[in-house]
Structure 1
Amino acid sequence: MRAIEVGLRFLLQQGVKYVFGIPAGSINAIYDALMDIPELKPIVAKHENSSGYMAGSYTRITGIPSLCVASSGPGATNLVTPAANAWKQKLPVIFITGSVPSTKLGKGGAQELYAEPIFASITKMSRTVLDPHKLPEILAEAYHTAISGVPGPVHLAIPIDIQMTDIGDRELPVLPAVQQPVMDLAAVEAAAQRIKDAGSRGAILLGNGAKAASDSIVQFAETLGWGVATTPRGKGAFPENHPLSLGGYGLSANPKASDYLNGGNHEVLLIIGSSLGELATSNWEPRLVAGRELIHIDYDHSELGKCYETHYPVHGEIKLVIAELLDQLSEDGQEDESAVSDILTGLAEAAAGSEQGEEKWNTRSAIRSLSAAAPKDTRFFLDIGEFMTYSIQNLLIESGQAFDIDINFGGMGSGLGGVIGAQLAEPSRPTICITGDGCFFMHGLEVLTAKEYQLPILFVVINNARLGMVYHGHMLQYKRCLDDFSQERVSIAGIARSLGLRHAEITSLDQLQSEQVKEWLSSGGPVVVEVIVDGNEIPPMGERVKFLQGATY
């Protein structure tokens, strides 16, 4: 049996289901081996960059490590961006790149590249495999490295002759046990006592890591009566129609969340599953932490105390930590039901008072209309651009819905690839990708990938005929910008038509109602909806501009 086939059968044994990538000469042995392993399904993308985002989102949603492959040379360098994104998001994606034959290394073979050091800084392990008999064990080591401790991506460069070498009948490698983070019970007890002492004078900020424990966090917040805000990536960890919801904090913050968290009405801030970076904290806003004590819960010990002094750092699996905190709070039984009721009522009244009246047609009103029209179990997958600022602020993510955005690394077009992985992860869930014309021009042909695999994704493309976030950022920061940031409007619906895709062109709110959205999602394949707007309104991105201005003086 060829070495690469043994390795692929090992990955299949671990639960890997898909091979994301694009076939090419130096990895042809992988795709040939898939002919004999029908349980491993190839997903052939239109660009290696997109295939990496597909793998990452599939892994994030299912918890199952993904395999993403690319050729040597340009294929490998095209995977650097999604590998960095997986590194940023702590996703156990296995990246395999091909290489020229091991006997020809350094002799100028076509597409030759020494990829190992290129991936070294953005993976937990990057290695070149030069012994075919060791390939299965090295792949098992890479897999174990990816899922152990704090998860993260790994990379192997495998020359084509190493892949193809017959190594005979081999037993598949056996993985050692994976050690899970050990909960610091003393730290949990100290945090629980501080929470009890704070009474009603506390607030909660949720990051993406909190999503794994969202149900218990709702119970936890209701027990305390504390207001709950979410970071941009944490959006969806707490239902935004809940009376305790403050909405989003950080980039494109809900004013209610900013006023509450930056105000002086609480003495304890409980942070769950956030790295507290620029976009999560409104450019590290000092008022967020001024005059209060921080309790920070995270499964990655390195995040605790990294950005702010943390008085009560708690390391452990977030779901288990929240369960332990709930046990300790219920044992105490000191909940002040009248205080909790007052807070719930006050926040509900504030939410009701913030409702907007009828709006004119623009990006914000289009996002709000889409939010209201979407099914109650929709997964929204956001791309990167001006439209995301409106989406973070105006998509109302309710219980049962989900929200994804690869915002920390922030690659344009990441949503167009990522949403395909998301739909494969949850095939029965309504899935809507919100993207922009700039992202579409980068990776829009992935809608054809969705067509080829019959994925019923609704692609909503906000077309303002410009790089909107760049345009408005320059106008806010420099009061001028190059004409090159805008272009003559191109019909994206027309592009979809030429690809044989269902499509629609939207220019008013009455075209973006629940009956249309339901019909698009039930079509059995992808639908491209072009939303045509002027895009002249200033998006809610002021904190991002402040950060960039800091680099000018």
Structure 2
Amino acid sequence: MIEPFVPSESPQDPSRRSSGANSSILSIPDVAHLPEPQRETATARIVSALAAAGITTYFGLPGGPVMPVFDAVLRSPGVTLIESRHETHAVFEAMGYWRATGKVPAVVVTSGPGATNVVTGVVAAHLEGVPMLLICGDVAWAASGGRLLQSLGREGIGFEDMLKNVTRAVVRVALPRSAASQALGALRAATNPLNPGPALLIVPIEHGGAQVEVKQRYVEGVRMAVTSQVNDDIAIEVANMLATAQRPLVVVGAACRRYAGAVQRMIEQLRIPFVTTPQGKGIISEHHRFSLRNFGMASSWWARRYTAPGVDVALALGTDLDDVSVGPTPPIGPGGSLVHVDLDPTVFNRNFPTRLGINGDLNPFVERVRSLALELGISSRSAAQLHAEATQGSPFDCEGFRGDESPTLAPHRVIHDLEAAAGPDATYITDIGEHMLFALHYLTAHGPKSFSIHLGLGSMGSGICSAIGHAIGNPERRVVCICGDGGMQMSGSELLVAAKHKLPIVYAVFNDARYNMVYHGYKQQFENEAAWETPWVDFVGWARSMGMPGARIDRPGQITKELLDTLTAPRLPVVLDIRHDASVRIKGAGRVESLQQMSATPPRSAGSGSASTRSSQARSGPSAAHTKKRTPFPGL
């Protein structure tokens, strides 16, 4: 069951630390002697070696100690540099690029504040299992032991120790002649199919700029391959458990993104209703006949109706079932049985008791369950009827959101207008904030590339930057970023990067002049009201000051296809300053509710618990209107 995966060619998106491919073939350059030795810098050898292994796109910011790397990148044909405005933003852009293309990116930053600024992004990439190579310049290795400004070594910041828990490898170039092979070693660790993620390569300036004799060229050579086999007895048992359950459910997590077709075929064979976690939204179309739409935070009312009586058998695929993934929709009820499939066995029994934990790759498992179920005629006879009952009503908190003509613009109407204007083939990316709840709940995602959110760390600004990587990786798709005024104040400088590369991203800024999620969460949790307000920002004027088009939106129906086509015609990012009613919320959808749900005692399976859990190694009532409490914006 070997299915080759070449990072520079095959799209993939585990989106989490536990995700990984079922098999991987990574081309690592081998050695062959050239007839006449030449000389070049160590950083030039690093860049050419990485290019041979598939890394041709670099995101980052320059600075003194890392300039030898930047010089090598700029001089290398076929290699692209995306110059960001902040180091963590560079990582988020690289994450978006990887999600869009499956190609492994590099992020290049300088020492001192360049390195410390990158940490938040690296942690997010670690938690979402995004393979990338982080290259940090450093001050002279020969000066170690002295006090040198911006030193990353143990005599200075101690950067290697700082990142050792959130990277797959930490490598410091020891000698100029070994720089390329050490870079490839770090890349090998980053693309380990069983645990992909960021790896760190530190290049001291005197090693990076040193001339070395070239005695090697890079050719197709050493290959890594991981294969998986699935125990047929376990696959048949799982299929039968789902088929004979009174109320079965499949939970599709973010790690299923690369295997969307295989997961969908298994669901269709077994005829089982499914939900997607927030990070998994759209992996299988929400128009699918067995879809209950999204699960967890901002979950659909279909998912809430279906799970309310208690699921008796659930199959969770590639998700850690954390608070935002579960929220008001527990995957199992009291006495229910959870089958959990993941590459990371530490997720078993963590938040919910696991009856059967399958530690292995998703693709061979779901393919084998489907094929054996087809061969043996295994499928549910009752689940389709249960799905039909759960989906009789609207899945949305506000059933008539598409036609809401309230003069103070409702955020759910904004989502409809955006979707109608940009179309179903657009890629929708949401940043972190109250607006993301409306995107999760009201947007209809049609496939793996239609929706993206970075909830591994939940960092504001991640979506604003990731949209740039998506637009670079998939220039033929319209990219719409749904964000807030707070995130835009933090990360809006990255729109200059989008403008430089002529990326017509639509930035839909939900402008309410406050941290709206914080406002509502604080009020709900502590029964006290604090403003959490910021001065009103005219984002249209702000965009125009940087040479970008924009439009102010304060009434239903103003966002149209014609408006977006006109604004994006110059091939520049577009800013929509959307003055919406900040008092409107989705019932039971926020982070506070998710935390409260997960803080309660989870349902226990009969006879289950850590001691009795079986583990298998896979060897192989919505509101119809919204309330308005204040006029959310003044005239400008």
Class of the TM-score when normalised by the shorter of the 2 chains: over 0.9
- Within 5 Å, which residues of 2 pair with 1:299-448? 299-335=343-379, 339=382, 342-343=385-386, 345-351=388-394, 355-356=399-400, 358-359=403-404, 360=406, 361-399=409-447, 402-448=450-496
Deviations 1:107-140 (A, max 9, x none): 2323223311111111111132232222111111
Q: Secondary structure at the match of 2:446?
A: coil
Q: Secondary structure at the match of 2:341?
A: strand
Q: Answer yes or no: is 1:6 the counterpart of 2:45.
A: yes
The offset of 1:103, in angstroms, is 1.5
How far apart in 2 are the matches of 1:77 and 1:501?
Answer: 31
Opposite residue 171 of structure 1, the aligned amino acid is Q
How far apart in 2 are the matches of 1:104 and 1:460?
Answer: 49
The offset of 1:217, in angstroms, is 2.5
Kindly tell me the number of residue pairs found equivalent between the two proteins.
546
Correspondence for 2:174 among 122, 126, 130: 130
Opposite residue 75 of structure 2, the aligned amino acid is D
What corresponds to 1:209 in structure 2?
255
- Within 5 Å, which residues of 2 pair with 1:511-550? 511-520=558-567, 523-540=570-587, 544-546=591-593
The offset of 1:220, in angstroms, is 2.5
Bigger relative contact order (CA 8 A; separation at least 6): 2
Q: Answer yes or no: is 1:486 the counterpart of 2:530.
A: no
How far apart in 2 are the matches of 1:376 and 1:324?
Answer: 32
What corresponds to 1:42 in structure 2?
81
Q: Answer yes or no: is 1:194 the counterpart of 2:232.
A: no
The offset of 1:161, in angstroms, is 0.6
What corresponds to 2:292 in structure 1?
246
Correspondence for 1:167 among 201, 204, 212: 212
Q: Secondary structure at the match of 2:212?
A: coil
Opposite residue 297 of structure 2, the aligned amino acid is L
Q: Answer yes or no: is 1:61 the counterpart of 2:100.
A: yes
Q: Answer yes or no: is 1:464 the counterpart of 2:512.
A: yes
**Contact 2:277–2:295 (Cα < 8 Å) also in 1:** yes
Unaligned runs of 5+ residues in structure 1 are none
Deviations 1:322-362 (A, max 9, x none): 2211111110124467x465356445533489842632222
How far apart in 2 are the matches of 1:427 and 1:223?
Answer: 35
How far apart in 1 are the matches of 2:373 and 2:63?
Answer: 57
The offset of 1:4, in angstroms, is 1.2
Q: Secondary structure at the match of 2:279?
A: coil
The offset of 1:190, in angstroms, is 3.0
Correspondence for 1:139 among 164, 174, 183: 183
How far apart in 2 are the matches of 1:156 and 1:336?
Answer: 51
Opposite residue 315 of structure 2, the aligned amino acid is L
Correspondence for 1:227 among 238, 251, 273: 273
The offset of 1:211, in angstroms, is 1.6
Opposite residue 393 of structure 1, the aligned amino acid is H
Opposite residue 492 of structure 1, the aligned amino acid is F
Q: Answer yes or no: is 1:507 the counterpart of 2:546.
A: no
Deviations 1:14-67 (A, max 9, x none): 111211001111111111112331211100011111101111222233222110
Q: Which piece of structure 1 moves more, 444-453 or 504-513?
A: 504-513
How far apart in 1 are the matches of 2:129 and 2:212?
Answer: 33
How does the TM-score come out when normalised to structure 1? 0.92
Opposite residue 7 of structure 1, the aligned amino acid is I
The offset of 1:466, in angstroms, is 0.5
Q: Which piece of structure 1 moves more, 44-53 or 523-532?
A: 523-532
The offset of 1:520, in angstroms, is 4.2
Higher helix share: 1
Correspondence for 1:293 among 333, 337, 359: 337
The offset of 1:492, in angstroms, is 0.7
The offset of 1:183, in angstroms, is 3.5
Correspondence for 2:195 among 127, 138, 150: 150
Deviations 1:192-211 (A, max 9, x none): 3323433x631111111112
How far apart in 1 are the matches of 2:566 and 2:528?
Answer: 43
**Contact 2:177–2:212 (Cα < 8 Å) also in 1:** yes
The offset of 1:244, in angstroms, is 1.9
Q: Secondary structure at the match of 1:525?
A: coil
What corresponds to 2:624 in structure 1?
none
Q: Which piece of structure 1 moves more, 505-514 or 94-103?
A: 505-514
Q: Secondary structure at the match of 1:109?
A: coil
How far apart in 1 are the matches of 2:457 and 2:544?
Answer: 32
**Contact 2:239–2:270 (Cα < 8 Å) also in 1:** no
Measured at CA, do residues 520 and 295 of structure 1 come closer, stay the same or move farther in structure 2, by a change above 3 Å?
farther
Unaligned runs of 5+ residues in structure 2 are 1-39, 154-158, 600-636
The offset of 1:541, in angstroms, is 5.9
Deviations 1:72-128 (A, max 9, x none): 000001110110001000111111111111122242323223311111111111132
**Contact 1:229–1:257 (Cα < 8 Å) also in 2:** yes
How far apart in 2 are the matches of 1:466 and 1:172?
Answer: 56
**Contact 2:316–2:340 (Cα < 8 Å) also in 1:** yes
Alignment identity in percent? 27
How far apart in 2 are the matches of 1:42 and 1:352?
Answer: 44
What corresponds to 2:20 in structure 1?
none
Deviations 1:261-304 (A, max 9, x none): 2423x421111111111111118x76734221112222444434
**Contact 2:267–2:273 (Cα < 8 Å) also in 1:** yes
Measured at CA, do residues 300 and 424 of structure 1 come closer, stay the same or move farther in structure 2, by a change above 3 Å?
farther
What corresponds to 2:326 in structure 1?
281
Q: Answer yes or no: is 1:455 the counterpart of 2:503.
A: yes
How does the TM-score come out when normalised to structure 2? 0.81
**Contact 1:225–1:344 (Cα < 8 Å) also in 2:** no
How far apart in 2 are the matches of 1:399 and 1:34?
Answer: 35
**Contact 2:242–2:272 (Cα < 8 Å) also in 1:** no
How far apart in 2 are the matches of 1:353 and 1:119?
Answer: 42
Opposite residue 321 of structure 2, the aligned amino acid is L
What corresponds to 2:264 in structure 1?
218
**Contact 2:273–2:383 (Cα < 8 Å) also in 1:** no
Opposite residue 157 of structure 1, the aligned amino acid is I
Opposite residue 132 of structure 2, the aligned amino acid is V
